Structure 1
């Protein structure tokens, strides 16, 4: 009688690969969220007012002075740029990788607001990419809409173990829900990129009646079924985006659950899929891109190109 072990199923092979990935990633230093000394921020005034923007600017300058004192010249230069006249932040915290929310356009008077929720490897050290996308979107939308670049959580590193679980997303949920409620959900469209789609998926049930939820370049929704929301849910993926090769599963292992759930562009997610063009993972908000035109149409209440 043969004693050869049965061949592993596809599920078993995938489970082994994910388990190996977790172990390997756990010893890699994450690319985002490096520790840089920063002071605790003050509580700014409420509302979308110049007084609030001025108060947050003082928090940024305090962080710049501390970075300078610790010889962190690159961080100090980035913070000086963030504190320049004309830039407006609703909150800022330089600790634990950094948190901020920058406003583009007239937020107080805007009929529609797009909130960008970024994915992995986004922090104060790489903030320029998020800001560039927000600027491109605001230009595409025009003066009647505002854009907020919401860096409200410590994002995982692409090569870190945290990116394989919903843990960082779950930690971001209370802050995102509170921020959307402050803005007024009815005028807010959430645009959620990469791991940011997991954040939005986990937060969806408590966001209120937001105008739209758009998931793009997403490794998953963080859920096993359609999002629990009354808002229209949209999904897109560029044909050149490597994220299509990520397994869309959730597996319970002895010490944690690995995987980020449903593929939002699959029929089972219930999302409305629209065209994103042939760009890669970092190309969605590139000026002139098909995705940028389509997502601006969605935020503006128009139908995108299929």
Structure 2
């Protein structure tokens, strides 16, 4: 099967007053059609930089992609100009950010923001766009969608706002969804609802999803394939079972050991809490990863 998204040898540098920071180094990553892949790592591991590079949304003028290719349906996105990328964003690749309140414009109603996205990417009139906007809100199971079309972001709960952000990302039925920490700001019950929603979208629409997360609970719930990053490099790639049950790289093993357990054995309770923390590994000990499962 041809990958829907293929990232090859991607390196991203940030040019700061203190020198060059190598945020992402020689990353290889692929997402197949209909797949849900998790990109996992601690804060600062380079996972968000990797995903935002796909859409050309690094933002800072100091960011530079120094090497690599990002292929979407065989086309190198790094060769497209801003006009070409605007057609890709939203129309073919949707983005779900981790902070829904900052992602939504407080000056416009939910319906107006959805209609704007739809009309930007599709040649439809306002009435058709409003119907599509309502369909998108119903797709994400937002209660009382007709009334919510007239609401402003601050009038919705955190979970409702996150559903709206997902609705906007899906409004034009993209083939790929990039979800950057989509449940971070939500309580446990709402987190599960959002993850179940992403699973439903994947099953019903066949949308491929790349989920950026630090949470192995998210990985266990929705991902079929997992890629682990550390210091801007991929250290291990495999199936969900490979990573959660049979991690090979010491860093991945350390991550798994750091996951809190609700039930500890007597022997585990005897271990001092400080000794249960994630092991620390030097940058030099981790080289670029390969397809399964590990790079030593």
Name the TM-score, length of structure 1 as normaliser.
0.28
Higher relative contact order (CA 8 A, sep 6+): 2
Q: Which has the higher strand share?
A: 2
TM-score, normalised to structure 2, is: 0.29
